[in-house]
Amino acid sequence: MSFPQPADTPVAKPYWEALKRGELVFQRCRHCGESWLPARESCPRCLSPENDWVKSNGRGEVVSWIVYHTAYDEAFGSRVPYDVTLVKLDEGPQLLTNVVDSEAGKRLKLGSRVRLKVESEGDVALARFQLDDD
């Protein structure tokens, strides 16, 4: 049983390396200021190839979520039911993640505040989140 691995590409390497340090980063365009995830070479707004990796404050809110009741891969067979949650970071970029204390989605609402909780699966560090009750 093997856990799925992200593609090992040069453009995404800084993203996954940062998570190993416990940091969530996104790209910001030097030309127009657009921010985005996932990693890409050029700005999707102005097409400039010049951008920086910026550290997120790790805070965001829930846009939507789903709960898997059957596993499509045996790697997740022991985890059902589990959530996959769409989070919008305060800095703008959006990503899919898991909210570790969502109780399989039952505690989630639109706009629920969440904060970063990096967790490892084998050699890969993942940008999971937890509910931010403050």
Partner 1 sequence: MRGKCVIAGVGHTAYGKQPGRDRVSLIVEASRNALIDAGVDKAVVDGVLVKMANSEPSFLYGQRVAEALGIRPKVGGSLDQGGAANAALISYASMAIDAGMMEIAIVCFGDNPRTGNRQVYARPRGDDAVYGFYSTAAGYALIHQRYKQQYSVPDAHIGAVAVTVRDHGARNPNAQLKLPLTLDAYLDAPYLIEPMRRDDCCLVSDGAAAVIVMSAKKAGELGIDHAVPILGFGQGQESWDVHLRPDLLRTMAIESGETAFRMAGLTHKDIGVAQLYDCFTITPLITLEDYGFCAAGQAAAFAAEGGFALDGQLPMNTSGGLLSETGTPGLPLIIEGVRQMRGDANLQVGGDKSCIVSNQGGTMHTHSTLILGRAG
Query: Based on CB atoms, which residue is closest to partner 1, 24 or 65?
Result: 65
| Span 73-102, contacts to partner 1 by CB under 8 A | 73, 76, 79, 81-82, 84, 86, 94-98
Q: Nearest to residue 79, comparing CAs of 87, 90, 71, 91?
A: 71
Residue 53 contacts partner 1 per CB under 8 A: no
Write the burial class of residue 102 (CB in 10 Å: 0-12 exposed, 13-18 middle, 19+ buried). buried
CA distances from 38 to 24, 28, 74, 75, 120 (A): 11, 11, 26, 23, 19
Q: What is the smallest separation between the CB atom of 37 and Zn ion, expressed in angstroms?
A: 14
By beta-carbon proximity to partner 1, the closer residue of 12 and 59 is 12
**Which residues contact Zn ion by CB under 5 A?**
29, 31-32, 34, 43, 45-46, 48
